[in-house]
Structure 1
Amino acid sequence: MAKNSKLSVDPVNAANLGYISYIGSSFTVVFTTVTLVMYICLRKGRSEQSIGIHVQLTGALLFLHLSYLLSEWWVWYEADGAEGRVCLAFGLILHWALLSTFTWLAIEGFHLYMLLVRIFNIYISKYLLKLSLVGWGIPTATVVACGFSGVYGRHSFYMKGSNGLFSNCRCWISSATDSPGVVVSYVTVSGYLGLVFLFNTAMLGVVVVKLWGKRGKGRMWKDCATVLGLSCVLGVPWGLAFCTYGPLSLPGLYLFSIFNCFQGVFLFLWFLVLSRKGRQERSSVKDLSSQKMMETNLN
């Protein structure tokens, strides 16, 4: 997903990358589904904005990896699976899910900005609803416009064989020379990802500066875990896509596949940490309220 289609990979590495992608995406589908079920069961009427945003990012990742697996299965199952309306539909859905993931990663960065920079001025009426409209609305409007432009369909990429280069294909943005798909891919995938990556990396830098400026060395390991968790939530590993160009392209592909195909697993662990922290905070508030009530009754 979202890899350099001009990169030529030999069959052995292509097979290894394929296994990593299929296994990682399968794990992500399972763990994102578990995360959504846990959120529905444990919410109990509470509306925590941060967790609500994490859950919608989780939903976008679920759509992304599920549509990827289904489209790959369709191309494998049907002899001409990379042709026709079904492939066009899979390409549209996969593009929509990828844009939704990027948009929700950007929203994670924006929410972090609101928490860190605008600390005392973060109230916005119907904040989560407005973010949801942006998070799902922008990708939907984009793919509708792209769909009318006819950019979805067969996408070819190349691998090195003993007899030279040979092509493989999948359902994605069309790579045909007479299609505007090349421009659409650069603008809506590479360009959009670049902007999101730069913004979220800057937000992560702000977090690191604040942690190192206010905490002692004794909390270094905990702070490192926080930074690693936020790196996953902000989608910083997606920046490895830009390492698939140049002399380090093959290692970049492996790192990109490993970190991003298993992103749903990392988000599940982050959700557990946030849920546990939220329960501890509510328990502390409840204990403090009970203590004050007892003191009032005794007095």
Structure 2
Amino acid sequence: MTCTLRRRMFGFYRFMVNSTEEARVNTTIEHSVQIPSSALKKSRGNSTDEDVLLLTTVISSSFFKNITSRNLRRKRSQPLSKQPVKIKGTVLRDQVLVVKAGNTPVKNLTEPIRLIFNRKQTVGNGTCVFWQDPESGNKTGRWSTEGCETSSTANEFHCRCNHLSFFAVLVNPNISIDKKDAKSLEYITYVGSAVSALFLFISLFIYIGLHRRRPEKAIRMHIQLSVALLCLHLGFLFCSFWLLLLKEVEVGWVCKSLGLFLHWSLLATFTWIALEGFHLYLLLVRVFNIYVQRYLLKLSVVGWGLPTLAVAACGICGVYGKSSLVIRDSQNNTSTSQICWLSSDFPQRHIVSYSTVAFLCLVILCNSCMLGLVVFKLWRIRVGQGGYESSSDWKKMTKEAGPRIWKDCVTVLGLSCVLGLPWGLASTTYVSTLGIYIFTIFNSLQGLFTFLWALALSCKSRTDGNSSVKDPSSQKMMTTSFNN
């Protein structure tokens, strides 16, 4: 830093710097700026003096009012390329870094200005922005990313911008929960995963017994899904307790391997859930044309092959390692837990995380449509069975209506678990702490729900074997179609 004078007045830092050299300024412990000489020369304008006045400070983001929805509606008549884009997020620590030099506006630089924001605690993904002055007809400005690029490490956000302005980092806020709730959720997750792993192991024996009596394709698919879920819960327990029990300081190959295994089992679970929905589509839509040569072999290649290719590519890039999870409560206190997952030191880990979430959202959307189709089919069946010829038939149908409704509800709930719809409860975690509890309980007990579904199929199989002639109705076809 070529600084000849430093004076602080009301939080403002003033420097006289030489425009022929790069200026480096540490405004605060949490902010630093690097300004190339080309930017300083441009700020001089027509002046021949090599010294330039550089001013930096950190002010509160409350002085900046973002563009309102009313302003956005006024802009609807403009071309899409000229409409302001609203960027979601909150200003990091509510602090805005101000950087000004000389008397001439500095913009469209070929050599960018570098700004570093210390993140200290773990926050969500961040985006470097600057405050764009109000346009004509608007009373408020907006945060914009134009001319700024963002990169990040475990401890810092790095911004590269081609102008001088008011800079900030917009981040996605962490979920604020109490430490008691965090501890309770941790216990629920560990106990639920252990219970699920136990019941999934039992479910495998039930499915194998069913397959021996009825060698059907759907049962073999249930076996594959149960194996993927068992790997997922066991992988989560191992990844959670490896760093906790062994107190590993350095990230070794074991932690990286566990993180890879956890990601692989998660992707395999999502893939087999999608294949369950695809199989249900063939049964309900293409009922008379579902023969595919080597059907199960092709499904297995997709169900296990795609996750393997994905984690292999991520492993080569070095994505996996020790991940630090920070929970911040309402009093701004933090607690940290570690797990072998996507490494916190890998800058592009958010890309892997977002792609996994996008894949899950696509699977849930498709399977929700399949479940809606099942409900529609059940409703059509009930309407078709509503006719009666005598009062005795009417009384019989009335008595059977209640049990049939319960059977239909159980069928729909069972299919919901098999199709992975409880994963959709992840959206409730952004609403309240209650949503986090609901999501945690349902997804940590997936193994128990799978066991109940396998048990129901086993009982249904025995019942069908004893009374297959007594109940030739459409309901039987509907309640057992997914299994046949």
Stretches of structure 1 that go unaligned for 5 or more consecutive residues are: 288-299
Q: Which runs of 4+ in 1 moved over 6 A?
A: none
User: Is residue 337 of structure 2 the alignment partner of residue 168 of structure 1?
Assistant: yes
From 197, 200, 220, give the equivalent of 1:29: 197
Does residue 67 in structure 1 map to residue 235 in structure 2?
yes
Q: State the 1:253 CA deviation.
A: 1.4
1:260 aligns with 2:260: no
Could you tell me whether the CA contact under 8 Å between 1:197 and 1:236 is conserved in 2? Answer: yes
Give the secondary-structure state (helix, strand or coil) at the position aligned to 1:43.
helix
Q: Note closer, same or farther for the CA distance 1:172–1:82 as it changes in structure 2 (3 Å cut).
A: farther
CA contact (8 A) 2:211 2:220 kept: no
Asked if the contact 2:175–2:328 (Cα under 8 Å) also holds between the matched residues in 1, the reply is no
SS of equivalent residue, structure 1 residue 44 = helix
Partner letter of residue 445 of structure 2?
F
Who is 1:136 aligned against? 304
Change (3 A) 1:5 1:196: farther
| Cα distance change, pair 81–230 in 1 and its aligned pair in 2 (3 A) | farther
The residue number in structure 2 matching 1:292 is none
- CA gap of 1:5–1:131, structure 2 versus 1, over 3 A, is farther
SS where residue 212 of structure 2 aligns?
Answer: coil
Between structures 1 and 2, the one with greater strand share? 2
| Counterpart in the other structure of 2:255 | 87
Q: What do residues 84-128 of structure 1 show as CA deviations (whole Å, max 9, x unaligned)? A: 221111110000010011011101110110110001111111111
Cα distance between partner residues in 2 of 1:47 and 1:36: 14
- Counterpart secondary structure, 1:153: strand
Residue 249 of structure 1, CA deviation:
3.7
What does residue 273 of structure 1 align with?
456
| SS of residue paired to 1:169 | strand
CA distance in 2, matches of 1:77, 1:120: 55
Q: Number of matched residues?
A: 281
Using a 3 Å threshold, how does the CA distance of structure 1 residues 136 and 249 change in structure 2: closer, same or farther?
farther
Shift of 1:41: 4.2
* Identical aligned residues as a percent: 51
Q: Which has the higher helix share?
A: 1
Q: Are 1:232 and 2:417 matched, yes or no? A: yes
Indicate if the aligned counterparts of 2:174 and 2:328 stay in contact, CA closer than 8 A: no
CA distance in 1, matches of 2:451, 2:173: 30
Q: Distance in 1 between matches of 2:231 and 2:279?
A: 22
Which residue number corresponds to residue 204 of structure 1? 371
> What CA RMSD, in Å, does the superposition of the two structures yield over aligned residues?
2.3
**Residues in 1 aligned to 2:215 and 2:440: alpha-carbon distance in whole angstroms:** 34
CA deviations on 1:184-238 (whole Å, 9 max, x unpaired) are 1101x21011000100111001111111121155421111111111111111010
Q: Which structure 2 segments of 5+ residues have no match?
A: 1-171, 387-400, 471-484
Distance 1:95 1:6, change over 3 A: farther
Alpha-carbon offset, residue 21 of structure 1: 0.7
State the alpha-carbon separation in 1 of the partners of residues 448 and 319 from structure 2.
Answer: 32
SS at match of 1:125: coil
Q: Is the 8 A contact 2:189 2:444 kept in 1?
A: yes
Q: Whole-Å Cα distance in 2 between the matches of residues 222 and 193 of structure 1? A: 29
TM-score (structure 2 length as normaliser): 0.55
Q: Secondary structure at the match of 1:167?
A: strand
Q: Whole-Å Cα distance in 2 between the matches of residues 37 and 81 of structure 1? A: 40
AA of the residue aligned to 2:460? K
Please tell me whether Structure 1 or Structure 2 has the larger radius of gyration of its CA atoms.
Answer: 2
Residue 82 (structure 1) shift: 7.4
Q: Answer yes or no: is the 8 Å Cα contact 2:320–2:340 preserved in 1.
A: yes
Identify the residue that residue 152 of structure 1 maps to in structure 2. 320
The corresponding residue for 2:295 is: 127
Contact 2:210–2:219 (CA<8 Å) still a contact in 1?
no
Question: In structure 2, what is the equivalent of residue 295 of structure 1?
Answer: none
Cα separation, 1, equivalents of 2:277 and 2:255: 33
Which amino acid is the alignment partner of residue 183 of structure 1?
Answer: I
Letter in 2 for 1:134: V
CA contact (8 A) 1:36 1:58 kept: yes
Q: Residue 395 of structure 2 aligns with which residue?
A: none
Cα separation, partners in 2 of 1:41 and 1:230, compared to 1, 3 Å = closer
What do the CA deviations read for 1:49-81 (whole angstroms, capped 9, x no partner)?
111111111111100001111111112112226
